[in-house]
Amino acid sequence: MTRAAVSNWRKRHADFPAPVGGGTRNALFALSEVHAWLDRQRKSNDVSGEVLLWQALRRAYRDDMTRGLADLADLFVTGSTEPLDDEIVSRATGLAAESSPSEVVARLTARLIGSAAPEHVTGPRLIRAVKHFAGQAHGVVFDPACGIGSLLLALGDGCGVAGQELDPAAARLAESRARLAGRGEVTIRTGDSLRQDGWPELRSALVVCDPPVNVPDWGREDLLLDARWELGVPTRAEGELAWLQHCYAHVAPGGRAILVMPPSVAYRKAGRRIRAELVRRGILTQLIALPPGMVASHNQPVHLWLLARPASPDDAVSRVRMVDLTANDPDGPLEPTADQVVDVPLIELLDETVDLTPAHHVAASRTDHLGEYASMREDVAHRLHELLTLLPPLTSGPGTLDGAAVKVADLARAGLVDIADGEAVSASDQLDTDYLHGFLHAAANVRRSTSGSFRTDVRGARVPRMSIEDQRSYGAAFRALDAFEQQVKELAELADRAVSMARDGLTGGSIRPQ
């Protein structure tokens, strides 16, 4: 039995055995309990009528199971047996007599989705999320990249459905599934939605779309003057923003659109101007970052973009709701908690990058700008005072120390120094380590390598001879300089954070000048 089969049985049957281990995404089951359940369900050895029909379709259609299911669905919709063989027809009609044609196609489609899911299949987790955030649908629901129709079926309950799909077999299966489910007006057209829009006059109350991503050529050169690009012509690398504008072009006044997008669309430099127009015109109403694991084909997170076409200028939104659910379980609740959502004024989004990543804005909204800035300011003042005490007082020296220098290699041979991994450490109470390190970093002991970088030649380095008391005096000065240098670096980092915090607070409205 396959993982997909177990997953399907678990979803469809409340009496399926409970997991005995693993987590939400990789549950483990007792084999004896599953076999016993299969016996009770007459599914033992995975040879139910449904499985036998699936296997017959596999033999006939091999990897083209979408076409196989489309032909099978046509059998139930039109009565045509072409091009199905007699075994498939016999098994399919027998199963339909036991339940219904709609149930047979639904169960086989679930197998298709649970197996190596093709690109034109939207999985159940993502469908659940889209349905949750799309809300109640009215009128006609339109999907211009409908695949096998999963989103349309989920959101178009009680509505007319219209769609377009590039793959003819997927388009046929989508239309048949909708008809078998008893939907009213159903029309799925075949073709490339961007290059050959099959619905140029359609304006829908709700447009849903899980478009193809990372398409290197979506037809930009042929579509430069297309009227759909009212927010700007997308670059070749921004095919997802072409789909977004195509969907928006089909939204009726007062209508909505909800699209599945890769996270990179929210921040890529090439799409900045189009994102800015979306925000500036009040079209983007909400952006939701979903948890990883929502998509059947990969484990990367995705975003949902919610758009609205204002019925009048007064209907345009003044804020965008940002929702960050990336830390949630993909099978858990979809309603965000208070600390996962923030309503961001449009002006705050229209900066140089127009980064619409929800996590960025949700995290910023949780920041106490005034408290953190005040704390940083006190820290800066404290560190500035410390710097004055760390920089050691020095006095006039002899002018040169080269005459009494000794090589570190000679000190190592005498057992006064240990050298390991390019570092030298005193091995005697006759030599101060801080004094040694200080002189090792002198300009005279730093050599330029053939690659152009600078490094200390430890063994060839020279340090001056002097008494242990003088060494300790020099060592103390070197330690103070090291501490001063480190403090300056930390102060610079703190200063950068303080300036950034102040600017964010001032421009965001959470703080103001005294």
Q: What is the pLDDT of residues 358-390, one digit of tens each?
A: 998 888 766 666 777 888 888 888 888 888 888
Return the pLDDT at 1: 57
Specify the amino acid at residue 291: P
Question: Look-up: residue for tokens 């103390």?
Answer: 476
Return the pLDDT at 47: 57
78 CB-near residues (< 8 Å, 6+ apart)? none
| Preceding omega of 200 cis (within 30 degrees of 0) | no
Q: What's the chain's Rg over C-alpha atoms?
A: 34
Question: Look-up: residue for tokens 């989705």?
Answer: 113
- What's the rounded Cα separation, in Å, for the pair 505 and 490? 22
Nearest one of 404, 391, 387 to 470, comparing CA atoms:
404
Low-confidence ranges of the chain (pLDDT < 50): 43-44, 46, 448-453
DSSP secondary structure letter of residue 218? S
Return the pLDDT at 182: 81
- What's the rounded Cα separation, in Å, for the pair 361 and 177? 41
Return the pLDDT at 289: 96
Phi, psi of 166 (to 5 degrees): -70, -40
Contact 358, 487 (CB under 8 A): no
Nearest one of 61, 94, 78 to 175, comparing CA atoms:
78
Phi, psi of 163 (to 5 degrees): -155, 170
Nearest one of 49, 54, 79 to 68, comparing CA atoms:
54
User: What does pTM read for this prediction?
Assistant: 0.66
Nearest one of 158, 124, 125 to 141, comparing CA atoms:
158
- What's the rounded Cα separation, in Å, for the pair 445 and 401? 13
The DSSP H or E segment spanning 58 is: helix 49-61
Return the pLDDT at 448: 46
Dig out the tokens for 5 from the structure. 């089969």
Return the pLDDT at 63: 85
Question: Which pLDDT tens digit goes with each residue over 131-161?
Answer: 999 988 888 899 999 999 999 988 877 788 9
The DSSP H or E segment spanning 407 is: strand 405-407
Nearest one of 29, 198, 12, 196 to 99, comparing CA atoms:
12
Return the pLDDT at 452: 45
Pairing of the two strands 251-261 and 303-308: antiparallel
- What's the rounded Cα separation, in Å, for the pair 390 and 480? 6
- What's the rounded Cα separation, in Å, for the pair 485 and 496? 17
Within a 13 Å sphere around the CA of 351, how many CA atoms are in the beta-carbon half? 13
